[in-house]
């Protein structure tokens, strides 16, 4: 495929801008708290858009539009589940986690928070949770690198090996240099680019097919069941898709945004901004796939690339319907989705290695400057491991994303949710929750019981384990005191 100069130039300008933001953030990074959590200085807009962008990967512009294009509106149940889950996470967890982490040793990472919240002197809770993060997030990082490579490969005709490094290099650069602030500031730009692409594209596709009524008639003529939300679905299938929403309570890269907010007061406004952004983006995504049915049924000669790979529906519509310069901006939105998620995942892995292993067990007396540079080295290390995992395009690592989402959702979700709501939770309850959640996901996935998505039994059994085991023990006086102080601060500042 010949390189379209406007598209290439747009990509280069976009990537250069992201790296420049990384160097701007470098100047504001003075200690480990700055590198890992941006010194808890994020305002409501950056908190909201960073949380959204870090959540929505290339799946938003490739996977979901492709599924809607192939099967119609019955594939949109997952979007409904994600919206409900994200809203409940903002409502119940965001503000409380912000104050709980501050009152529990000014925790910078989830393992750090668990260890402080439950007075875990043994280090067991910290080690187990850090290992869970490293295992699942390295897989996640690899999947992001594969998605970026596929984008460069299909857009510029590069070999997969070249595309692998081209797609990963810029993300590694700005995460390495600028840390959390770079990731959050670039996320804000990337979230803006994504919503622009997902509002503009379906409108132009609809106009190109003759307006809304004509578009709907064309979709109906192609297959009337495209409008049926229950087409080829079962009760278990709908519950499984909706169950994706449970994952939000346990995703470390999203929870880190709540921990980094400048105050609880910012959370309510951030929730409104983030949910509006999310609903518009998911609505636009569904519309791209849905209206694409009408466009390509009217233009079968242009449909070959989408027929071969339905996940290319957004890419092909952008190339066909827009000026090459605008198409370059729209295709940059896919890169933005990939980069925003990958950068967050690299940073969370780096944080776990630096704060929860290096500082805690190897160098308790390490200076802040040393810890920042160790954090940068860990970003590089995790990235290289992820690139090695992604090197074989046939390794099916993208298929493991739902597995990793379920793993985090079940292992951490109930622990985080219950820890900020119930003062009676104990360390043993937290350990039981993490282990039962993770093991249930692994076993359920292996045996594919009832065809039910493994996050649902994992979340349920982990929650039961936390309550039952915690009921057998008793939280210490210091745990109760910190919980009460954090709750008082939350209700005072809310």
- In contact, 375 and 350? CB cutoff 8 Å: yes
Q: Is 430 a member of any domain?
A: no
DSSP state of 61: T
> How many domains are there within the chain?
1
Relative orientation angle of helices 324-353 and 368-390, to the nearest 10 degrees: 120
**CA-based nearest residue to 373, from 387, 353, 397, 356:** 353
Please give the residue range of the domain that contains residue 200.
Answer: 5-397
Q: Is position 477 within any domain?
A: no
Domain assignment present for residue 490? The answer is no
The predicted pLDDT at position 2 comes to 46
Tokens describing residue 147: 């998605």
| pLDDT for 100 | 96
pLDDT at 485: 95
Q: Which two tokens mark 229?
A: 């939300």
- Provide the pLDDT for residue 3: 47
- How far apart, in whole angstroms, are the C-alpha atoms of residue 103 and residue 129? 20
Q: Are the beta carbons of 282 and 79 closer than 8 angstroms?
A: yes
Q: What are phi and psi of 486, to 5 degrees?
A: -65, -40
Write the CB contacts of 477 (distance below 8 Å, at least 6 apart in sequence). none
Q: Are 280 and 491 in contact (CB under 8 A)?
A: no
Q: How far is CA 86 from CA 188, 252, 419, in A?
A: 18, 14, 18
What local confidence, expressed as pLDDT, does residue 163 receive?
86
382-386 long-range Cβ contacts below 8 angstroms, 24+ apart: 382/134, 382/137, 382/138, 382/141, 382/346, 382/349, 382/350, 382/353, 383/141, 383/168, 383/172, 383/346, 385/138, 386/138, 386/141, 386/142, 386/144, 386/145, 386/168, 386/346
Q: In this structure, is residue 457 part of a structural domain? A: no
In a domain, 142, yes or no: yes
pLDDT, residue 183, reads 80
Angle at 168 between CA 167 and CA 173, to 5 degrees: 125
Cα–Cα dist 272/259, whole Å: 17
Tokens of 356: 């929860």
Return the residue matching tokens 């290439």.
Answer: 8
Kindly list the distances between the CA atom of residue 481 and the CA atoms of 101, 118, 339, 344, in Å, as whole numbers in the listed order: 14, 12, 41, 33
Backbone torsions φ then ψ of 261, nearest 5 degrees? -60, 150
Residue 366 in domain: yes
Buried/exposed code over 127-142 (b: 16+ C-beta within 10 A; e: otherwise): bbbbebbbebbbbbbb
- Match 């100069």 to its residue by tokens: 5
In a domain, 52, yes or no: yes
Query: Could you count the other beta carbons within 10 Å of the beta carbon of residue 377?
Result: 15
- pLDDT value at residue 399: 61
CATH number at residue 34: 1.20.1730.10
Instruction: Copy the structure tokens of residue 138.
Output: 């390295």
Q: Are 80 and 229 spatial neighbours (Cβ–Cβ below 8 Å)? A: no
Q: Tell me, what's the pLDDT at 340?
A: 76
Instruction: Print burial letters for 262-285: b (CB count within 10 Å at least 16), e (below 16).
Output: bebebbeebbebbbebbeebbbbb
Indicate whether 385 belongs to any domain: yes
- Mean pLDDT, contiguous 10-residue spans, the chain (494 residues): 68 84 79 77 86 79 88 92 96 96 90 94 90 83 81 80 84 79 83 91 94 93 92 92 94 90 91 95 95 94 87 89 87 80 82 82 80 84 86 64 88 97 96 96 89 95 98 95 95 84
- Whole-model pTM: value is 0.90
Bridge partner residues of 42 (DSSP): 261
pLDDT at 99: 95
Going by the DSSP 8-state scheme, the letter that residue 301 receives in this structure is G
């Amino acid at each position: 495929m010949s390189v379209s100069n406007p598209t290439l130039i747009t990509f280069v300008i976009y990537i250069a801008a992201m790296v420049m933001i990384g160097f701007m953030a470098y100047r504001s990074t003075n200690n480990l708290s700055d590198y890992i959590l941006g010194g808890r200085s994020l305002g409501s807009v950056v908190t909201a858009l960073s949380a959204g962008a870090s959540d929505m990967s290339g799946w938003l512009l490739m996977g979901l539009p492709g599924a809607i294009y192939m099967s119609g509106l019955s594939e949109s149940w997952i979007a409904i589940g994600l919206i409900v889950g994200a809203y409940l996470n903002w409502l119940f967890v965001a503000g409380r986690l912000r104050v709980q982490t501050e009152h529990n040793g000014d925790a910078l990472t989830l393992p750090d928070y668990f260890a402080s919240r439950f007075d875990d002197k043994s280090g067991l809770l910290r080690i187990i949770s850090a290992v869970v993060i490293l295992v699942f997030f390295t897989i996640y990082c690899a999947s992001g690198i594969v998605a970026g490579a596929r984008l460069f490969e299909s857009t510029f005709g590069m070999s997969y090996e070249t595309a692998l490094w081209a797609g990963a290099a810029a993300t590694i650069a700005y995460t390495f240099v600028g840390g959390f602030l770079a990731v959050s500031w670039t996320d804000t730009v990337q979230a803006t680019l994504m919503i622009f692409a997902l509002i503009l594209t379906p409108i132009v596709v609809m106009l190109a097919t003759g307006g809304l009524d004509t578009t709907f008639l064309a979709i109906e003529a192609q297959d009337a069941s495209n409008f049926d939300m229950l087409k080829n679905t079962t009760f278990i299938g709908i519950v499984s898709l909706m169950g994706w929403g449970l994952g939000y309570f346990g995703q470390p890269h999203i929870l880190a945004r709540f921990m980094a907010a400048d105050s609880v007061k910012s959370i309510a406004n951030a929730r409104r901004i983030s949910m509006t952004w999310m609903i518009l983006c998911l609505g636009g995504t569904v519309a791209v796939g849905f209206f694409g049915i009408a466009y390509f049924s009217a233009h079968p000669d242009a449909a070959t690339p989408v027929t071969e790979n339905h996940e290319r529906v957004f890419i092909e519509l952008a190339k066909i319907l827009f000026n090459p310069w605008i198409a370059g901006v729209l295709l940059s939105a896919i890169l933005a989705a990939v980069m925003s998620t990958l950068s967050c995942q690299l940073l969370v892995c780096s944080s776990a290695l630096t704060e929860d292993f290096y500082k805690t067990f190897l160098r308790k007396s390490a200076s802040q400057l040393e810890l920042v540079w160790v954090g940068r080295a860990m970003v590089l290390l995790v990235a290289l491991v992820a690139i090695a995992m992604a090197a074989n395009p046939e390794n099916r690592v993208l298929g493991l994303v739902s597995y990793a989402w379920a793993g985090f959702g079940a292992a951490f979700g109930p622990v985080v949710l219950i820890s900020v709501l119930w003062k009676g939770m104990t360390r043993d309850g937290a350990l039981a929750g993490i282990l039962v959640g993770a093991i249930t996901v692994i076993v359920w996935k292996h045996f594919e019981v009832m065809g039910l998505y493994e996050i649902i039994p994992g979340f349920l059994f982990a929650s039961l384990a936390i309550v039952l085991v915690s009921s057998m023990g008793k939280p210490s006086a210091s745990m109760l005191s910190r919980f009460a102080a954090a709750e008082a601060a939350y209700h005072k500042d809310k």
